[in-house]
Amino acid sequence: MAYYDGTKLLSMSDINGNKPELYLCTTNRTGGKTTFFNRLMLNRFTKQGKKFALLYRYSYELSDCVDKFFSDIGSLFFAGHSMSSVSHGKGSYYSLKFDGELCGYAIALNNADMIKKYSHVFNEVESMLFDEFQSETNHYCPKEIEKFISIHTSIARGQGKQYRYVPVYMLSNAVSLINPYYVELGIIDRLKADTKFLKGDGYVLEQGFIETASEAQLNSGFNKAFRRNNYVAYAAQNVYLNDSTSFIEKPTGNSRYLCTIKYNGNNYCFREYSDLGFVYCDDKPDLSHPLKISVTTDDHQVNYVMLKKNDFFLTQMRFLFEKGCFRFKNLLCKEAALKALSY
């Protein structure tokens, strides 16, 4: 029976030949990546005295961080040892103790402002672990990337240095190609179904598949009963849970510019290909065109309009979409269009 081994990922350089500071790893569920990296964090502490930080999204996740982190590796690799936690800053973060000795901290991304105030506390942290960086429900913190960067900045200073090398190990199952981390790192347009390792500027990514874990999942009576459900394919086969590549197609020929839409701070556009009979959404807008639509209130600004849900233009676009007459450049464009057309 094979389990995940991150040795190759950890040995890789980034696209420029430098030591990465972000290590991203996705595999199918029960593949063993969490166990590997949790053990790595604790082994580095017990053998080298290196402290670590565990990242979570919300404060409510911190109270049982010891159980989530230590329960499996404790019984497998650290029998006879114990781990405990203590809340600080009204629950802003928790300190972690292994056999009574401080070994690290548990931090919530949503507490980024508070963590900045306590940054001196974390000046001995030498690595960070962020499990489940992709949300299965696509529920992320507001401005999550900014909070993630803020927390890393707060930790990666001290010891007389303006900046310290503090690697972050980011683990997840394959949930969505348009998760905010893939978007921000420019991974979305480079990652293919058969990609095993991907190098970027400052990061490396592994897209793994543990066959024995997949077989065990698929052969269980429970999953056989629910074999038609998308979640079974996601859990067992590393299929992206929230993505569909249908209607991702680049057209050719003449088009007519319809409008610009702004979503999540980025501009997209709708173009009509009358000869082909569909509307195409891409990320090459003409900002001189008069019709500019804000998808959300956060995107609203001067020269943009927020159309009512029963607006005639949106009604026309929805009619075309429901008839299968929309195409999209990529999943980001598809998401922007769906948000704009949603009721």
**Of the candidates 237, 266, 295, which is a domain's last residue?**
237
Question: Is 245 a domain residue?
Answer: no
Question: Is 251 a domain residue?
Answer: no
**334 pLDDT higher than 80:** yes
pLDDT, one tens digit per residue, over 236-280 is 445 555 566 778 888 999 999 999 999 989 999 999 999 999 999
Shared domain for 269 and 120, answered yes or no, is no
Shared domain for 173 and 310, answered yes or no, is no
Shared domain for 186 and 110, answered yes or no, is yes
Shared domain for 193 and 88, answered yes or no, is yes
Question: Is 243 a domain residue?
Answer: no
Q: How far apart are CA 225 and CA 242, in angstroms?
A: 21
The domain that holds 187 is classified in CATH as 3.40.50.300
Contact 185, 192 (CB under 8 A): no
Shared domain for 230 and 261, answered yes or no, is no
**343 pLDDT higher than 50:** yes
**Of the candidates 203, 237, 271, which is a domain's last residue?**
237
Shared domain for 163 and 280, answered yes or no, is no
**Would you state the pLDDT for residue 333?**
93
pTM over 0.85: no
Shared domain for 191 and 335, answered yes or no, is no
Q: How confident is the model at residue 17 (pLDDT cuts 50, 70, 90)?
A: very high
DSSP 87: E
- CA dist 275 to 253, 315, 330, Å? 8, 21, 21
Residue 285 structural domain:
256-341
Q: How confident is the model at residue 81 (pLDDT cuts 50, 70, 90)?
A: very high
Shared domain for 56 and 198, answered yes or no, is yes
**13 pLDDT higher than 50:** yes
Strands 266-273 and 278-282: antiparallel
In degrees, rounded to 5, the angle at the alpha carbon of residue 92 between the alpha carbons of residues 142 and 140 is: 20
